[in-house]
Amino acid sequence: MATKTKNNTLKLKFDTSWSYSPAPESKSAATIHKQYDLFIDGEWQKPTSKKYFDTINPGNEEKLSEVADAGTADVDKAVKAARRAYEKVWKKMPAKERAKYIFRIARMIQEKARELAIIESLDGGKPIRESRDFDVPTAANHFFYYAGWADKLEYAFPNRRTEPLGVAGQIIPWNFPLLMAAWKIAPAIATGNTVVLKPAETTPLTALKLAEILQESDLPPGVVNIITGAGATGAAIVNHPDINKIAFTGSTDVGKIIQRAIAGTNKKVTLELGGKAANIIFEDAPIDQAVEGVINGIYFNQGHVCCAGSRLYVQESVAKEVIRKLKDRIESLIVGDPLDKNTDIGAINSRQQLETIHKYLSIGKKEGAEMYESSCRLPGKGFYCRPTLFTNVAQSNRIAQEEIFGPVLAVLTFRTDDEVIEKANNSPYGLSAGVWTDKGSKIFNMTKRMRAGVVWANTFNKFDPSSPFGGYKESGFGREGGLHGLAPYLNLVN
């Protein structure tokens, strides 16, 4: 009964006779309108240009809705509304009242959690299990966490008074649409700022749903304005003269453009950018948990994660075992309909991103690395990519250096602690890192020497509202989450 392949190596069979039936989440629990306008000054306003663009379901390429394309005039309207709300209402409001609005928003997100999760998976392609169990609850928790800070800021910065900055322009990516909106909005308004937020053009729907929640929560008009559009809209926000703070999460390239654009202004800026995290497995690691950590590290959210553990460093003595286990584990990952509750890897967010990933797969092969991908079948329509890993990767390979932002793992080996520290830090990025070992003193050595803003030891891809997140080096600056996430939205006054 034991299965042997031709060359007499053992192989487990995961394509089993007992298999899971489709278990799709019901779309009927969510309401998506045919068309969305801009949420400015507490109202839905038509775009000046009267132009709208489509947002599609990357899981089947069908149109979900169309959203307004905000131009410079619309951005200006939104900024004016935010400024008015800042000066007339929000700045003056007692902090404890501000807090209660934010608590209320958190609760309403919880009440509409199922609907938000469905919309998130439809619009962005992520598996419903992740939207339901991670994105939406974590977003609600983020509001809940920062709500409580609003009237306690004097305790956060010793010997300083705090002042809000004013109007914050916030631009967020498509990988965690609702969660990133929460990461941006919650600390900004808790600290007394007002907001103009632009979701990514491929994933605007949960932010717009959030706008409905803000409206329902009676948040004063103009405190949070949510406007949709592509790069030009983002640029208009960055360049608007009456914005005091830019917060951006996205690619390092765009982060650099923003840094240049605000030169010569007094705008403050926080950037959460790319990464190429090293995940390091030592021979004494809890291997099965490490393998699971690597799987979650790179295949979580289709690998569309800036802190994804995309470079795996395995100590040579356990490399064969680890690679075998990774290959087995990949076979049990289910790729398919994002709305199916059993899906582990959903749809790639856009055709463009799928093409980028494919480009890197061919680069990897050309570079001489050995590619292994899951044997799973992919749906006929929609943007899908099998979980993939490359072995025989060299440090100099592009697949080991550049951010792919997809379910693609580069596996490298090492021999000594010093060697792996040097290799792991050998990157312009410094967002996150992972270390797996059973030895306490080694953990502290490694976590100290990793030049990265978040270091996971014997775990990976963990997030919490109370835990600061952000990068070293070209992964950006400023922190989001926790006590340290307050400072980017405040002036400290003597």
Q: State the minimum distance, in angstroms, from the CB of residue 258 to other proteins.
A: 8
Answer for which of 33, 48, 72, 286 binds other proteins (CB under 8 A) is 286
User: Cβ closer to other proteins: 12 or 73?
Assistant: 12
Asked if residue 299 binds other proteins (CB under 8 A), the reply is no
Q: State the minimum distance, in angstroms, from the CB of residue 19 to other proteins.
A: 7
Q: State the minimum distance, in angstroms, from the CB of residue 470 to other proteins.
A: 7
Q: State the minimum distance, in angstroms, from the CB of residue 202 to other proteins.
A: 25
Q: From its phi and psi, is residue 182 left (phi > 0), alpha (psi between -120 and 50) or beta? A: alpha
Answer for which of 6, 50, 241, 264 binds other proteins (CB under 8 A) is 264
User: Cβ closer to other proteins: 154 or 464?
Assistant: 464
Please give the residues from 50 up to 79 whose contact with other proteins meets the rule CB under 8 A: none
Cβ burial of 441 (10 Å; 0-12, 13-18, 19+) is exposed
Answer for which of 273, 305, 408, 420 binds other proteins (CB under 8 A) is 273
User: Cβ closer to other proteins: 224 or 490?
Assistant: 490
- Interface with other proteins by CB under 8 A: which range of 39-47, 381-389, 398-406, 476-484? 476-484
Instruction: Answer whether 170's CB lies under 8 Å from 198's CB.
Output: yes
User: Cβ closer to other proteins: 352 or 444?
Assistant: 444
- Active site amino acids: 272, 306
User: Cβ closer to other proteins: 166 or 488?
Assistant: 488
Q: State the minimum distance, in angstroms, from the CB of residue 63 to other proteins.
A: 28
User: Cβ closer to other proteins: 332 or 395?
Assistant: 332
x/- map, 349-388, other proteins, by CB under 8 A: ----------------------------------------
Please give the residues from 4 up to 23 whose contact with other proteins meets the rule CB under 8 A: 4, 10, 12-23
> Which residues, 6+ apart, have CB-to-CB distance to 354 below 8 Å?
348, 383, 384, 385, 406
Crossing angle of helices 95-111 and 113-124, in 10° steps, is 70
Q: State the minimum distance, in angstroms, from the CB of residue 1 to other proteins.
A: 5
Answer for which of 43, 288, 316, 422 binds other proteins (CB under 8 A) is 288
Asked if residue 259 binds other proteins (CB under 8 A), the reply is yes
- Interface with other proteins by CB under 8 A: which range of 36-44, 64-72, 180-188, 479-487? 479-487
User: Cβ closer to other proteins: 271 or 345?
Assistant: 271
What CA–CA distance (Å, rounded) separates 300 from 69?
31
Q: State the minimum distance, in angstroms, from the CB of residue 34 to other proteins.
A: 30
Please give the residues from 130 up to 169 whose contact with other proteins meets the rule CB under 8 A: 133, 141, 158-160
Answer for which of 390, 479, 488, 489 binds other proteins (CB under 8 A) is 479
Answer for which of 170, 203, 252, 388 binds other proteins (CB under 8 A) is 252
Asked if residue 472 binds other proteins (CB under 8 A), the reply is yes
- Interface with other proteins by CB under 8 A: which range of 207-215, 380-388, 392-400, 447-455? 447-455
- Give how many residues touch other proteins by CB under 8 A: 78
Q: State the minimum distance, in angstroms, from the CB of residue 273 to other proteins.
A: 7
Instruction: Answer whether 166's CB lies under 8 Å from 83's CB.
Output: yes
Please give the residues from 321 up to 350 whose contact with other proteins meets the rule CB under 8 A: 324, 328, 332, 341-342
Answer for which of 182, 452, 486, 490 binds other proteins (CB under 8 A) is 452
User: Cβ closer to other proteins: 103 or 463?
Assistant: 463
User: Cβ closer to other proteins: 10 or 50?
Assistant: 10
Please give the residues from 188 up to 247 whose contact with other proteins meets the rule CB under 8 A: none
- Interface with other proteins by CB under 8 A: which range of 162-170, 240-248, 258-266, 357-365? 258-266
Q: State the minimum distance, in angstroms, from the CB of residue 454 to other proteins.
A: 5
Q: Which long-range contacts (CB under 8 A, 24 or more apart) does 400-404 make?
A: 400/276, 400/311, 401/276, 401/427, 402/276, 402/360, 403/251, 403/252, 403/274, 403/275, 403/276, 403/306, 403/310, 403/429, 404/303, 404/310, 404/356, 404/357, 404/360
**In this structure, is the dihedral angle defined by the CA atoms of residues 455, 459, 461 and 467, taken in order, positive or negative?**
negative
